[in-house]
Structure 1
């Protein structure tokens, strides 16, 4: 083969090789893009539906067990819409959705993720233990979370919790155990446990349960002052009414070491506490949610079906017994 033919042959081979390389690179890039698109498509985006809806954890058996779902407030029996993300506890407004979750793996971990209404992740936090309670302020500017450090329920002897409050856009107020606590005008310096935050509408006032030295109080919190003031004995997991005039909570009525909770509502103006007509056989270990200014929602585990639960409603004035509101549901959150 003469030099000219050899040069031509080498050129052809080089072009073929280069073309093959470019084609392979194109296929590889397309494959990577395809995989990236598939991953992006499979990433949960819990978009908060418009209108008045109930957001909750779906406990119905099947493919959507444990996922966040929604139904219209006007028709809770309607077909539920899955939001795709798994949460142990959930709370939502029209602006944000807070998800406390358990992440299984070689080592189980716990976390909290805050999403905006479009389903984009805004913030995330590691949790020191099992998810327990979460709330978002009425204007969606503040978020609170409680998790167990030791124990797995409020009926467990020696349980401990960690509760934090953060601004959605701004300061992190940190662990509420760092706040000052005042009882009857005296500062309490002993160790305390705090859980179950509920927010007022002024971006500063909140309520929570505080336990110290074997005693338990409902406390009013002041974020800017970083202080808590006890206002009532024996009230746990408070929930402020939409009009801000009353607070509902669970109340231990057991005379033994085993706790048994009923529900009660305190009217701030009169100081009158009203126990609600919860059946004596039922113990309500939940932070209730207000459906409206006259009705409460709460969850109960189904003793006949482990892992399942039901949301009940009850009138806040005690005028009617509880009724089933939504079966196969937990952690109700009313988006008005």
Structure 2
């Protein structure tokens, strides 16, 4: 083998080993920092779950990092009650919790787990095709929508690809991959080969809202349609990750308000479904989340905490154009309101 080739191979090996060692050390430092952090104040789970509460992923540093926790709606910043579940995204409705999680190993895998919230025992599980992104249950907990990144890890990534499916929680059977449904955009059949769909929210056990997108077209659309009919129709463009209000009169979503260095910047908007009018909430600029409704006039969403990798906070905001976000649950992600 020529000397230049030998030297090149040796350099590549050194670089690969160096990058691998750095990554391992970075993970270890993060784990050590979490383990060294003080224990988060906690309270009994049964007492919190007995009244109106919010379930979320705890991201405060400490031994409970990543566990699903709950706080009373009346005291969101107070002591939190921890479950034994570790989830990347979580939602709770009816008798069930949907938990999207990463399963570490020699080959990292991902899965959807369904839990009975009366016992926190797993009742169903099935694989996810990629990194967990979104999950929502229907109001009675009988259906669950899940979105995973098949390629990429962010909605700001160029060329990302998602897979979104709906399953029944009772037996895990699939009600369909949304990419295989009939799509109609602006009155015309939409058959683009690069179409992506994500961010399901349930109006009832048959009607949903979701996002459709085409990289080639450079557009996203708010879609609504029927599970039984396996079809979706566009309602508006520039709308992503919808969330329907408790009374079903409004739908909130994120929309691109500017582009910075080629990356989209989103803010929350709320659409009156019957009137077709939209209210933008400019002060929410910078989020990348599927919002949750705290009540009929307040939204919740998560943001990364500046300067603290891995820590996120949940904010509340009203649905008027002049509303200002307020810190609601520190060290939290993926809130789910149980009224």
TM range (shorter): 0.7 to 0.9
Match of 1:324 in 2: 327
- RMSD of equivalent CA atoms: 1.5
Match of 1:88 in 2: 88
SS state of the match for residue 321, structure 2? coil
Unaligned stretches of 5+ in structure 1? 1-45
Tell me if structure 2 keeps the 8 A contact 1:50–1:94.
no
Q: Is the radius of gyration larger for structure 1 or structure 2?
A: 1
2:142 is the alignment partner of 1:141: yes
Q: In terms of mean alpha carbon deviation, does 111-120 or 241-250 score higher?
A: 111-120
Distance 1:119 1:76 in 2: 22
Match of 1:233 among 237, 261, 285: 237
Distance 2:247 2:265 in 1: 29
Distance 1:182 1:72 in 2: 42
Question: Structure 1: which 4+ aligned runs deviate by more than 6 Å?
Answer: none
2:179 is the alignment partner of 1:174: no
Deviations 1:144-193 (A, max 9, x none): 10000000000000000010001223652131101000112221122210
Distance 1:94 1:231 in 2: 29
SS state of the match for residue 258, structure 2? coil
Tell me if structure 2 keeps the 8 A contact 1:265–1:273.
yes
Map of 1:191-206 to 2, 5 A cutoff? 191=193, 192-201=195-204, 203-206=205-208
Distance 2:264 2:323 in 1: 25
Match of 2:152 in 1: 151
Compute the TM-score of the two structures, normalised by the length of structure 1: 0.83
Match of 2:191 among 182, 189, 192: 189
Unaligned stretches of 5+ in structure 2? 1-44
Match of 1:252 among 253, 256, 281: 256
Deviations 1:195-251 (A, max 9, x none): 0000002x1000000012432100002111100101100100000000000000000
Distance 2:283 2:198 in 1: 23
Tell me if structure 2 keeps the 8 A contact 1:277–1:322.
no
Task: Please state how far the C-alpha of 1:94 moved relative to its aligned partner.
Answer: 4.0
| Count, aligned residues | 288
Distance 1:221 1:123 in 2: 26
Tell me if structure 2 keeps the 8 A contact 1:314–1:323.
yes
Match of 1:311 in 2: 314
Map of 1:105-116 to 2, 5 A cutoff? 105-116=105-116
Map of 1:1-336 to 2, 5 A cutoff? 49-117=49-117, 118-169=119-170, 171-191=173-193, 192-201=195-204, 203-212=205-214, 213-214=216-217, 215-255=219-259, 257-278=262-283, 282-336=285-339
Compute the TM-score of the two structures, normalised by the length of structure 2: 0.82
Task: Please state how far the C-alpha of 1:123 moved relative to its aligned partner.
Answer: 1.2
Tell me if structure 1 keeps the 8 A contact 2:283–2:323.
no
